[in-house]
Amino acid sequence: MPPPAGLLPWPSPSTTRLTTPTPTRPPPPPTRVRPPPPPPPYTRVRLPPPPPPTTPPRPRLEATAPKPTAASNPLPPDTASTASSSSTCLDCVHFGKCSGCTHEVDLDKPPVLQEVANFFKGHGVGDFTFSRGRLSQWRCRAKLAVRGTPENPLIGLYQEGTHVVTDIPECRAHHPSINAAVKLLRQGISELNIQPFDEDAGTGELRYVQMAVTTYNTSIPVDKRYEQGRVQVSLVWNSRDERSQNAEKLALLIEFLWRNGGPKSSVHLIHSIWVNFQTSTSNIIFGHKWRHLKGERDLWERYGGVDISLDPCSFGQANTLSFNSLLHKLNKYVPRGSTVVDLYSGAGVIGLSVAASRKCRSVKCVEINKQSKMSFEKSASRLPTNLGCTITWHNTDASVEPVHWLEGSSVVIVDPPRKGLHPSVIGALQKVALSERKAYKAKSSLAKVKDEKRPWILRAREAAVHVDNTTTEESSETWPETLIYISCGWESFKKDCKSLISSKAWQLENAHAFNFFPGTDSIEILAIFKRESEA
C-alpha cells in the first residue's frame, strides 16, 4: 500500500550568476561522511572528494545530474536571496533514513537543473534564470505521521517504499518553529499517554499532524518575521467527532499544547490548534470534519503583495519565500489592464495577487476543490476597495469545456497538478490560438444561448464568488494573447510545452526556475508563452 497522500518525498526570493557546470557527483561511500562546516559567508569552497570505497557502494535511488559534455551549456543566472544559507550542504542527521531529501550536497543546483537549462536554450529562450532561494529551514508546511508508542513516539515521514516512520526531530528543511512544535507535541504524547496510531490494528488516537507556519506578524520588524513564525497545529484524531470515547484525552492534549506554546507561555510558538476527525482505513490523511479549538481561526500570510487566508484544509505552498519570489516574477508578465483567467486556482492566491498588482479589468479563478471557497472569500475581503476589477471564483472542473473560460480573457494562467494539463485544456489552447479562433467565436456565441441548460455552467454559477460589482464587458472577440504556465512536474511540463509549440499556436518566450524543494530533484517552472501571429 503506497504512503498516504501528502507524505510523499519532498519533490522552494532572489538574483547572482552561476557559470560553473554542474559537477559530476562521485558515488557515495559505504559509511556516512559528515560534510565540513560551512565556509564564511559568500566564500565558495570545493568539498574534498570522499575516500575510495573499499566495498561496492549501495545503489542510490535518486536521479543523478547529467554529466557535463562539450555540448552542455553553462548553468543559468541564479537569483540568490540574502536569506539564503551560505552553505550548500544539507548536513542533516536524518539523511539516508528519511525519504524527504535525496541528495545532501550542492543544494543550490538540483540534479535536473542542467537538463532544464539545456531544454529552454534549445527552444530559443535566452534569458532563462534559476532562483536557488533559501537552502535550509525553508519548509513552512509539513504533514507528518505519528506512530510508535507513548514512551517513544515517532513523528516524521515514511521510509522510502514502506509504512515505517522515521522520526525527524532535527529536520534541516523544516522551519525551526515546526521542529519546536513537534518537540512540544512529543512531550505531550508521552506525559498524557496518548496512543499513536497503529495502522495494522486500526487502533490508537493520534494519526497525523499538520504544521503550518505563518510569518505574518505586523507587530515586529519585517526582517524578524520569518524567524519568529508561529505554527498552526492540526491534529488528525482517530475518532468520528469530539463526542467520541477518547475525547477527554484530546482535550487534555490541546490544553497541554496551548498552555506550553500559546500566548501565555514563555515562548509564543503556537498560532492556533485545529482538529480533523478521521476513521477511514484508506491512505487519505484528512477526513471531512474539522474543528477549530484554540487561537486565531484564520491563518494569514503575505503572498504577492496581498493578504491571503489559508484554512488547514486548503492547499498552501510549503516554501513561502520562494513562492513569493515566483509571484514577483510572474506579475511582471501580466500587462496592466488585462482580463485574466486563472485555471487550477486553488484559493485564488495568484489571481488575487495579479488583480491587485496589475490593475486588471477582470480576473476569473476556476477551481475544482470547493473547500477553497472560504479562503478565497476571506482573502478577497482584504483587497483595496478601489481596484476597479471584477474578481470571481468558480467551483468547477476547468477541463470541462475549457474554451468557456478562455473566451474574453487576454491572459490565461495555469498551475496544474504534477501530472500536467488535461488534454482538453491543451486542445482548447491550441485551437483558440490560431486558425480555429473564428470557429470558436461562432460556437461560443451559440453556446451562450444554451448555457442555462448546461448543468456544469449552472453549478459553477451557484458556487461562484463575486468580489467587485464593477461592470466589465468581456468581449467574445478577446482571446488569450499570453499563457503563463506554472509547473511542479518537469516531465509533464516538457510534454505539454512540446504540444503547445509544435502546433504553431504558441511561442515559448521566457522561462524561469525556482528551487522550491532544496535537497530533491524537483524544480518549479514559470514559463511564458505568446500566441503566434496569424498569417
Annotated ligand binding at 241? The verdict is: no
Annotated ligand binding at 367? The verdict is: yes
Question: H-helix or E-strand containing 64?
Answer: none
Annotated ligand binding at 42? The verdict is: no
Q: How far apart are CA 360 and CA 383, in angstroms?
A: 13
Burial category of 246 from C-beta neighbours within 10 Å (exposed 0-12, middle 13-18, buried 19 and up): middle
Q: Is 92 helix (H, G, I), strand (E, B) or coil?
A: coil
Annotated ligand binding at 344? The verdict is: yes
Reply yes or no on whether 313 is catalytic.
Answer: no
At which residue does the C-alpha cell 573499499 appear?
A: 54
Question: What is the distance in angstroms between the CA of the first residue and the CA of the last residue of the chain?
Answer: 54
Residue 341, strand partner residues: 364, 412
For the stretch 371-405, what's the b/e string if a residue is b when 16 or more beta carbons lie within 10 angstroms of its beta carbon?
A: bbbbbbebbbeebeeebebbbbbbbbebbbbbbbb
Q: How far apart are CA 480 and CA 402, in angstroms?
A: 12
Residue 523: CB partners within 8 Å, gap ≥ 6? Answer: 110, 112, 113, 116, 490, 513, 514, 515, 516
Grid coordinates given for 126? 535566452
Of 92, 98, 140, 488, the catalytic one is 488
Does residue 113 contact residue 103 with C-beta atoms inside 8 Å? no
Which amino acids are annotated as binding site for S-adenosyl-L-methionine, given as ranges?
Answer: 317, 344, 367, 415
**Catalytic sites, residue numbers:** 488
